[in-house]
Chains A and B, each alone.
Chain A
Amino acid sequence: MNDAPDTPSTEREEAIFHGALQLPDALRAEYLKHACGSDPSLRERVTALLKAHEQSGAFLKEQDAPAQQKTIVISAPLTEKAGDRIGRYKLLQTIGEGGCGVVYMAEQEEPVRRRVALKVIKLGMDTKSVVARFEAERQALAMMDHPNIAKVLDAGGTETGRPFFVMELVRGIKITDYCDQNKLSTEERLNLFMQVCNAIQHAHQKGIIHRDIKPSNILVTLHDGVPVPKVIDFGIAKATQGRLTDQTLFTAFEQFIGTPAYMSPEQAEMSGLDIDTRCDVYALGVLLYELLTGRTPFDAKELVQSGLDQMRRTIREKEPERPSTRLSTMLDADLTAVAHLRHSDAPKLVHLLRGDLDWIVMKALEKDRTRRYETANGLAMDIRRHLGNEAVLARPPSNFYRLQKFARRNQIVFVAGSVVAAALIAGFAISTVLFLKEREARKRATEAERIQATLRTDAERGRELAKKELELAQLRPKYQEISQLLGTEQFDRAEKLFKEIPDRAESVPFYQVFGDLHIHFEQWDQALTNYAKVVEYAPSNHVGYIGIADVDANRENWQGARTNLARAIEVAPAEHEAYYKLGSLLVHTGDLEGYQRLRDQVLRQFGGTRESNIAERTAKEFLILPPPAADLVTLSNLTEVAVAAGPQSGYWPWFQYIKGLTEYRLGHFASAVDWTRGALKAARNVPFRNVGVYAVLAMAEHQLNQVDEARAALAKAREIAKSDLPQFGSHNLGPDWNDVTISRILLHEAEGVVEGGGTPSAK
């Protein structure tokens, strides 16, 4: 128990007091002289205390016997109620109640007769801190003058001195209810929302942070038939000029119990971190989310039921679904109802939210407040831009665009968020969430885990290794910070910090991630450095070798690439990635025997896979050259597995491509034309796919005797290959060298077929 520490003098005072009490009167003076020594004021105080003790008589008499209790009369009800008066206001009814205050509808009689809202501190609640907070709220409101904020009209105290203030009575309903009841369209909702943003902006400019923005605090009322949103209840607003005090923590906690669904991550942290205006921006984001989708980013009930800790963790760390995604994962009936309330239908609504509105909402909901809108106005203006069909600021940052554009589709590791242990290193956890596009990447993490587990056992032996554990404990916060920076795509900062850590095995997962990122950004030397470290510290991890192979292949160092891919296969024969990259390499370097051996091995091992991506790649790798008939059966089965994933797969164009190629090899030329044409309709044109697609199309048209079409397709293939596809001999084939190679091989075949008068491909 932490008792408030006595100041040193009262401790002494107390001790001497008790000491003196033990003694008979006659000896006290002597004792006091001795005990108080050179401190005359101390002696004076103790003497006074002793005298008080003597004379206190019945004061605070020991109350052990109930019979001694006196009767008092409480001559008024324990609380105000309707019909009572406070000042010149007559209370009509209670309209709201909080922890410490009550809001009544009241009637003002003079000078003007009108109805108002009166907020008063509850009887018995007028402690200093509550009164101070109440006063702060009143002052906050009095400072504001905005059509969308309820005005303060008057203030005063009850006859017993409890403060109250009087506000404009807003007769309206919650903004969310108003929108639903009137089936406002998305655009109409956005218009109301922008007004709310303006109101909050006004408050911010006056130095007030609301901190409790939620639908029940925004009422919509009608002025001449026009809906007007009004922000009420700045009950826990904080003036930015003040300092964080206990009462702020109190109110932060109160809010915590009240509206977790609207609480910003920094509020959930409750670490005393300075809350600023951006927490209101977050809450506005939640409101917008709810207006658009009918749901809050995190389900309110689930949050509360999950318990305090889990609630805070969810708010701080879990990424909410984008609004359009949230809609599309709803049950049909629910989605239809939501769309109906927005004067729309399900597909239209989803389409409307996808894109700009998604990004705007998510930007307001960023966990990292530096990435949110700076101001409520900023949010409103982006919405205005969206409504005016201009570009919005909330588009993802530019390196994300690069990631999309040059997607190294099988090896991008999106490191986002900062949750969930992926690698356990000597007893401490690093939190990283890996959004994986490929299962292989996920396997890398388990491999790293395995390695670290081995290291851990090693660490348990040996005295010097105990020292290492201490080092690791000190490293933990650094790793965590790096993970977080990676999660927010601040790659340069993350790497800068990472470089401060001396080389060690525990960094292997990070060498991997940085290696992948450098490959993606085509920074080959740096990629090589990182992968070399993976190989050095984790020699049984295939990822390092594959990374090096990628760098080699980019530079057209085929020998190096081949050696490293072989090594990767050696250490991890069950991993698919190395095999299929080896395929195109062998064809390109003319090692047909090796290629055939590889094909046999791969089809044996992966021929029955149900994974659409593995199936597609395996098929593609071994349809580069016309395969033997028996293998063609297996390969076309694999293609079917890929195609079964359907158009909703992000890889659909690739699956269309492989199906087209398979059909061509099977001699189904018309079908091949259909499928390749389908692949060309993809939203994004990827050169190292389209060259191959046009090549196959050209060959298929040729076989159907569609000479002109064949020539046109071939010309297109050549055109793209010339301008957008890395050339052999450039020693810079890019991260997608594998597909580049395949495309060029197919182009070469197509040239032979269409122009060389070649006969249709043999079976």
Chain B
Amino acid sequence: MSDVTRILQSIGAGEKQASAQLLPLVYEELRKLAASKMAHEAPGQSLQPTALVHEAWLKLAGNQGAQWEGRRHFFGAAAEAMRRILIDNVRRKAAQRHGGDRQRVDILEIDLAAPGPDDELLALNEALERFEALDKTKAELIKLRYFAGLTTEEAAVTLGISLATAKRWWVYSRAWLFKEIRDMESSTEGNKG
């Protein structure tokens, strides 16, 4: 039985703390998958993030058609992992632009869901953190869609809500985040250098 399967079962059995254990494993899996794909693809090829996440899902959780809770926790962890990867990447690039230590660099190209310009990503990340504190489940929806690349339908199924509810939440959350980002921008306007 794989570690992930065991953890998913624990989650199903009500072991709340098992969720936190999932993140490092999922992250590891995504990283390995991405690395192996990148090694095999010709330069310039692109990876569909959804495909990556789904492939990781199949690999880790097997064909059990794993339980409701398990699926949600997995994709939640995948979204979180993706988020971290992206943020770190952006920060690294920022550091380089400001003349940080020389580093050996491998250039890779990966297609990943949604992200717009780097600035947007950082701002979104911060706004999302605040949003998470207010409404964890809606934030989860955003992450599933934006970082894990799930469609609205898939996200709705994963969260166990109706499609209509998912759409409603999406509309509200987008507005909230957009407003938050603009508020943040205007308050730092004077500090931008």
Contacts and interface: CB of A to CB of B under 8 A. Distances in A.
Nearest to B146: A60
A270 B81 CA distance: 27
Contacts of B163: none
B177 A60 contact: yes
Interface string A57-79: 01110111010011111111111
B108 interface: yes
Interface in B168-189: 168, 170-172, 174-179, 182
A17 interface: yes
Contacts of A3: 136-137
A608 interface: no
A48 interface: yes
B135 A77 contact: no
Interface stretch (A6-14, A223-231, A538-546, A675-683): A6-14
Given A72-B110, A76-B103, A249 B17 contact: yes
B20 A83 contact: no
A143 interface: no
B62 interface: no
Nearest to B35: A78
A49 interface: yes
B88 A124 contact: yes
Contacts of A125: 23-24, 27, 84
By secondary structure, the B interface counts as helix
A58 B137 CA distance: 23
A60 B115 CA distance: 8
Contact of B174 (A53, A69, A77): A53
A56 B35 CA distance: 35
A576 B70 CA distance: 59
A4 interface: yes
B41 interface: no
SS of A interface (majority): loop
A566 to B, nearest CB: 56
Interface in A191-207: none
A49 B175 contact: yes
Interface string A82-116: 01110000000000000110000000000000000
A127 interface: yes
Interface string B95-126: 11000110111111111111110001000100
A252 interface: yes
Contact of A122 (B24, B86, B89, B124): B24
A435 interface: no
Given A127-B84, A160-B92, A10 B134 contact: yes
B54 interface: no
Contacts of B55: none
A60 B114 contact: yes
A246 interface: yes
Interface in B15-59: 15-18, 20-21, 23-25, 27, 31, 34-35, 46, 48-50
A250 B17 contact: yes
Nearest to B145: A63
Interface of B: 3, 6, 10, 13, 15-18, 20-21, 23-25, 27, 31, 34-35, 46, 48-50, 80-81, 84-86, 88-89, 91-93, 95-96, 100-101, 103-116, 120, 124, 134-137, 142, 145-146, 149, 151-152, 159-160, 168, 170-172, 174-179, 182
27 contacts: A6-B134, A18-B171, A60-B146, A60-B174, A69-B111, A70-B114, A70-B115, A72-B110, A74-B85, A74-B89, A75-B96, A75-B105, A76-B89, A76-B103, A78-B35, A79-B31, A99-B25, A122-B24, A124-B85, A124-B88, A127-B80, A159-B92, A159-B100, A160-B92, A162-B88, A246-B20, A252-B17
Given A75-B92, A127-B80, 10 more contacts: A17-B175, A18-B168, A49-B176, A60-B177, A72-B110, A74-B89, A75-B96, A75-B108, A85-B101, A124-B31
